[in-house]
Amino acid sequence: MGSRNRGGRKITFAASVKSNTNAFEKRRTQPILSDEHEQTQKFSSVTGNTFTQTKALEKDQGFFLSNNKGIATVFTPHKGELPPNAEVPITVTLYNNVCGKFDDRIVSAVEGLPPMQFPIRINITGSPVVVPNNQVGLNYNTIPPTLPIPTVVANSTPISKTFKIKNTGIRALQVDWKIFDKKDLDKADNDQFSLQIIKN
């Protein structure tokens, strides 16, 4: 707090004025455009949290599936000390980008004891064929996304539209297209990207 003498009177300045001035000067010296807030202020909304978790999942999945095996079983924690008369929960996370049935063995190695093996069987259903997002002309408000085509007059010139499909798996696929009525989409058991796995 500063002060001045004027005509025998003492004039003082409030502390709030001085502190506000210093805060303003500090704000002026900070860069206007920076990513500091992205490091300190994470998403707080439900949509933001979902986005953050999805990004983290994609990063982990890319790491664990980088060996092109198509499937990875991750145990957390994968090693550690087990105190006497204690229990430790183990989280098993399965990453995959292929379909099919898989048989494997989990090996538990305890120091001083022979290894113990546990058989596991994994059945993955679904399809690696997806329609990538952010394609102009596709309507993503429907499930599955639709490609609107305007009304066509008889004997008019052909109309063509393009869109992309993506194979997220590690094996090549043969895609055969067929046209069917929209009412077939309403069937609960209908799978637009059904696959027939042929084993040699």
C-alpha to C-alpha distance for 128 and 77, rounded to whole angstroms: 29
Domains in the chain: how many in total?
Answer: 3
- With 70 as the cut, is the pLDDT of residue 41 above it? no
DSSP code string of 13-76: --HHHHHHHHHHHHHHHS-SS-SHHHHHS---SHHHHHHHHHHHHHHHHHHHTTTS-SEEEEEE
Q: Which residue matches tokens 């429907």?
A: 142
Q: 24 with 34, same domain?
A: yes
Residue 90 lies in a domain: yes
Average pLDDT over residues 146-154: 85
Claim to verify: residue 132 and residue 176 sit in the same structural domain:
yes
Residue 108 lies in a domain: yes
Residue 65 has pLDDT above 80, yes or no: yes
Higher pLDDT, 195 or 141: 141
Q: Are residues 142 and 153 in the same domain?
A: yes
**Residue 198 and residue 132 share a domain:** yes
* Cα angle for residues 189, 192, 195 (degrees, 5° grid): 95
Please work out, in degrees rounded to the nearest 5, the angle formed at the alpha carbon of residue 125 by the alpha carbons of 121 and 130: 140
Structural domain boundaries enclosing 107: 68-125
Q: What is the pLDDT of residue 89?
A: 92
User: For residue range 2-30, what is the model confidence (pLDDT) as tens digits?
Assistant: 555 556 666 665 555 445 555 555 566 66
